[in-house]
Amino acid sequence: MKRAVLLGCCWAWTFLFGGPGQATLSPAEILERADRNAVSGNRIAVSEMIIRGRRDSRSISAKSWVQGEDKAFTEYLAPAREKGIKMLKLGDQLWTYSPDADRTISISGHMLRQSVMGSDFSYEDMMEDRSLVDLYRPEIAGEETWLDRPCWILRLTSKGGEVAYDSRKIWVDKERYVLLKEERFAKSGKLLKALEVKSIIRVQGRWVQNSLVVKDALKSGEGTEFKIQSIEFDAVIPDYLFSKASLRK
């Protein structure tokens, strides 16, 4: 969910229209700039997931408080059957709380691959907050226009260790350094998940992916649309919120 919020920058004339400035950037520099744009410090956001299955669609809204890369607290607001469900992320640990069962569950191991609320997002997707440049080796695979924006296409190969996806293919806006499209692959090369940004807005001097669609290639249905309804950057968030005690409040 963190990479749905990206910072945009105002770059030189050559970045707007092409030229030597772009040619001098290495794949690692492009990825570093994209990572830098993805870091937003503290933020509070209200969002909506529209899960489109084979037969019907349903919408789930939530409010999230995020502090850096290691702390996140989410409370689901609607519909009624999901209202009050909460999630807490502290570093590499994740817990969920269900008010109906009055029970807190630790999500770990194979459970991280499970779907979040029946969506195309997994718990693993939510936990993976480290910078891409720390996890992958990039190379330029080409150029393409997406959403009328010139993009570099980068192929990312895992550096090893524990990663949810062995390799990725990402489309990076040449001017704003925002990720506009992504494909995620297994070690075998099989496509596991695809992401497409539908629209971007500017909030508090930052570029925000306010609408995107994620499709799990192993699931039926038309994917999950994620929309940001409101967002506040550099928000003041009390530390007590990021505790297991907050799950039951």
**Gap between the Cα atoms of 223 and 245, Å rounded:** 34
pLDDT of residue 40: 66
**Domain 2-248, what fold?**
outer membrane lipoprotein receptor (LolB), chain A (2.50.20)
Read off the tokens for 216.
């799990």
Distances (CA, A) of 243 to 2, 45, 72, 94: 19, 19, 10, 11
Calculate the dihedral angle through the C-alpha atoms of 202, 9, 33, 30, rounding to the nearest 10 degrees.
Answer: 100
- The reported pTM is 0.83
Per residue in 201-240, pLDDT (tens digit) is 988 888 888 999 999 999 988 999 999 999 999 999 999 9
Contact 109, 94 (CB under 8 A): no
85 within 8 A of 100, measured Cβ to Cβ: no
Ranges of residues in the chain with a pLDDT under 70 are 1-23, 39-40, 129-130
Question: 85: closest CA among 98, 104, 71, 103?
Answer: 98
Q: Say which DSSP state 76 is in.
A: E
Give which of 178, 192, 120 is closest to 147, Cα–Cα: 178
Domain boundaries, the chain: 2-248
